[in-house]
Amino acid sequence: MAKEISPNCAKCPVEACAPRIKVDDKPSLKTTPSYCPMKNMPGIIEKAMAEYDKPEVREFARLASVQEFECYEQTPEGRRTKNPRIVELIQFAHKCGYKKLGLAFCGGLSNEARTLTEILEGNELEVISVRCKVGAIPKEKIGIKPQEKIAGPENYESMCNPIVQAEILNRAKVDLAIMLGLCIGHDTLFIKYCRVPVTVIAVKDRVTGHNPLAALYLSNSYYSRLKSKK
């Protein structure tokens, strides 16, 4: 069997999946690269598209696209953006009819969690929040060695506990779980164990004010060591 070519959309020069054509014209695959999944994986696309036939999935996708649309406005100077993600979160929650939100946050962002909670509550949304250290389980439980503790070998250090965070929010049957600043890997576990819809308000980046793209934006200048070959 011929080896399947892995998609590499990140390197695509044509982006024929978002063609600038009129509404009644048909997108063409003629110029797509050999690694284009539209060329090589029509079966997967067809199977995935069938999911949108489920009314609840279709409606969720529709509301997400309406939300996307509403983040732009037409002005005499042209189209421009208007909503930060926090506003989008509130609007989307109301669009979906959500009443109860779950907030899984990192202890390093406790102030942000408090502020976010106040803002959400001020917009008629109930918030159930769970801090990452919930359980107060020592890191030794998962095999962390004394010298691998941030607080030092002589100190008690609670493990981050994304599975407990997820299970508490599952139990509360929140309409939507929001991740705020969970670490890499902890966020992965949280998503894995969450049985309610999940979104992200911010990811953890300790050196860029939780804006990981800042490092990319500087990768051709002040942070060019990111691109040096290892």
Chain positions contacting ligand SF4, by CB under 6 A: 9, 12, 14-17, 32-33, 36-38
Cβ nearer to ligand SF4, comparing 20 with 230: 20
Nearer to ligand SF4, 21 or 151 (CB): 21
Q: How far is the CB of 38 from ligand SF4 (least distance, A)?
A: 5
Q: What is the largest CA-CA distance in the chain?
A: 69
How near is the Cβ of 10 to ligand SF4 at its closest, in Å? 8
Sign of CA dihedral 75, 79, 82, 88: positive
Question: Judged by CB, which is closer to ligand SF4: 14, or 142?
Answer: 14
Cβ 93 to ligand SF4 shortest distance, Å: 31
Structure tokens at 109: 């962002």
Nearest-CB residue for ligand SF4: 12
Tell me whether residue 38 or residue 144 sits nearer to ligand SF4 (CB atom).
38
Cα 213–Cα 169–Cα 158 angle in degrees, nearest 5:
70
The neighbour count for residue 184, using CB atoms within 10 Å, is 10
What is the nearest approach in angstroms of ligand SF4 to the Cβ of residue 105?
34
The residue among 64, 32, 69, 190 whose CA lies nearest residue 45 is 32
Q: How far is the CB of 18 from ligand SF4 (least distance, A)?
A: 7
- Tokens encoding 205: 């980046």
* Cβ closest to ligand SF4, residue 6 vs residue 75: 6
Task: Give the C-alpha separation, 100 to 141, whole Å.
Answer: 32
Q: How far apart are CA 101 and CA 178, in angstroms?
A: 7
CB count, 10 Å around CB of 78?
A: 6
**Residue matched to tokens 């300790």:** 206
In this structure, the number of other CB atoms found within 10 A of the CB of residue 70 comes to 15
Instruction: Pick the closer one to ligand SF4 by CB: 35 or 223.
Output: 35
